Structure 1
Amino acid sequence: MCGPRNLPRASRMSRLSPDAVVEPNETNGAVWIRAANASDVESLSIYFTGLSTTTRNKRFMGARADLAVVAAECVAKVSDPDYFTLLAELRLDEGQSTIIGETRYAYDAVARHGDFAISVADVFQRKGVGLQMMTAMERRASDLGHEMIAAETARANAEMRGLAKRAGFSDTGLGDWQSVHFAKRLSE
């Protein structure tokens, strides 16, 4: 993972964090992480549809057929800072961009922690995109004054459990025979 090399100064400054750009080996482009907005619903729906059945089931912890509705829900509360969706976009040198990952975050004021869900397009998994997205999500949540992030995943989802461990999350022991619940206290 490295920073942007040949991008104009204005583009570098619009990133969410100094390390939000990843240059994948297989492409002539860079992956940028940015906040989703209302105009992303169609692209996000296409992204969800393009995920393999296995990845989609892991992201939603079961089958979902209403992907356009899910995409709309991801950007429905863009004006509320306690709810946000971050998108990882592959931006090609020709100016084209494609969503290759997303993470949705929602703060629970009663539980006093943020919950999140994340997915990365199958061909970009295990390339550092998920970890970069989690880092950007944590930074934004911390900037909002949130102190803890938590999530739940299926016990069978070894990829998510591994990603959470690499990102510094701990198993809380609150899961059951089907799920694992993990959390991370954010730096102050």
Structure 2
Amino acid sequence: MDENASSEAALPFRTTLRDGRRVVLRQIRAQDKAGLLAAFHRLSNDSRYTRFMASMRELPDAMLESATHPVAGREFALVAVAGDGEAATIVGGARYAAGPGSDTCEFAVTVADDWHGVGLAKCLMQSLIGVARAAGYRNMEGFVLASNTSMRGLARKLGFVDTVCPDDGTLHVVTLGLAGVPGPA
């Protein structure tokens, strides 16, 4: 994690990625709808399928509304923004959601195609893990396509256990215990 970020994932913070580009990680805002929609439209068909596990040409209004209005106490979402002012662009995001009373949250992460391979997904996940841990969740899990080897590899590097989904061999469940000691950096 960037030296500007605490172990509790203090947001917002600016970080420099492996290729020298800088982003600000911050909590999502209601006014991010247009930026989030633009980010969705910049994703390749493969990236959309990998993230949503379905072919999607458009982001449904209900999903966009939910994405920009996380339910307090059960959901959290953050975005990575490149540039400043009018030139600011959402280039990635991560979120978790949990059922009422659950000690396990489910994560999702999305990174713009031209930002793959520079450490952005790792930054997003480390921040999300820190926020979930600080919120008192004991476990984090994600459902990842078996073919998404880059996400599964990142999850393993972050300490997640990767198992085949018992109900669907095309999916893997990656799980991380959040209680106790902080995860790997």
Structures share fold, TM-score greater than 0.5 = yes
Residue identity opposite 2:69 in structure 1: A
How far is 1:75 from its partner?
1.6
Q: Which residue of 1 aligns with 2:33?
A: 41
Query: In 2, distance between residues paired with 1:21 and 1:130?
Result: 15
CA-based RMSD: 2.7
| TM-score where L is the length of structure 1 | 0.82
Counterparts of 1:141-180 in structure 2, within 5 Å, are 141-175=132-166, 176-180=168-172
Confirm or deny that 1:76 pairs with 2:69: yes
Give the SS at the match of 2:159.
coil
Q: Which residue of 2 aligns with 1:185?
A: 177
Query: In 1, distance between residues paired with 2:152 and 2:18?
Result: 25
Tell me the alpha carbon deviations over residues 124-150 of structure 1, each in whole angstroms, 9 at most, x when there is no partner.
111111011001101111111111000
Task: Note the residue ranges of structure 2 that are not aligned, 5 or more in a row.
Answer: 181-185
Q: Is the 8 A contact 1:154 1:178 kept in 2?
A: yes
Q: Which runs of 4+ in 1 moved over 6 A?
A: none
Residue identity opposite 2:148 in structure 1: N
Q: Would the alpha carbon gap of residues 112 and 25 (structure 1) be closer, same or farther in structure 2, given more than 3 Å must change? A: closer
Q: Which residue of 1 aligns with 2:89?
A: 98
Query: In 2, distance between residues paired with 1:143 and 1:84?
Result: 12
Residue identity opposite 2:59 in structure 1: L
Q: Is the 8 A contact 1:82 1:144 kept in 2?
A: no
How far is 1:177 from its partner?
1.5
Q: Which residue of 1 aligns with 2:47?
A: 55
Q: Is the 8 A contact 2:143 2:171 kept in 1?
A: yes
Q: Which residue of 2 aligns with 1:126?
A: 117
Q: Is the 8 A contact 1:155 1:180 kept in 2?
A: yes
Which region of structure 1 is more displaced relative to structure 2, 16-25 or 160-169?
Answer: 16-25
Q: Would the alpha carbon gap of residues 64 and 143 (structure 1) be closer, same or farther in structure 2, given more than 3 Å must change? A: same
Query: In 1, distance between residues paired with 2:77 and 2:12?
Result: 18
Q: Would the alpha carbon gap of residues 2 and 76 (structure 1) be closer, same or farther in structure 2, given more than 3 Å must change? A: closer
Confirm or deny that 1:136 pairs with 2:89: no
How far is 1:91 from its partner?
2.7
Tell me the alpha carbon deviations over residues 51-85 of structure 1, each in whole angstroms, 9 at most, x when there is no partner.
1111111010111233152322212335x132121
Q: Would the alpha carbon gap of residues 144 and 110 (structure 1) be closer, same or farther in structure 2, given more than 3 Å must change? A: closer
What is the number of residues matched between the two proteins?
177
Give the SS at the match of 2:81.
strand
Q: Would the alpha carbon gap of residues 68 and 16 (structure 1) be closer, same or farther in structure 2, given more than 3 Å must change? A: farther
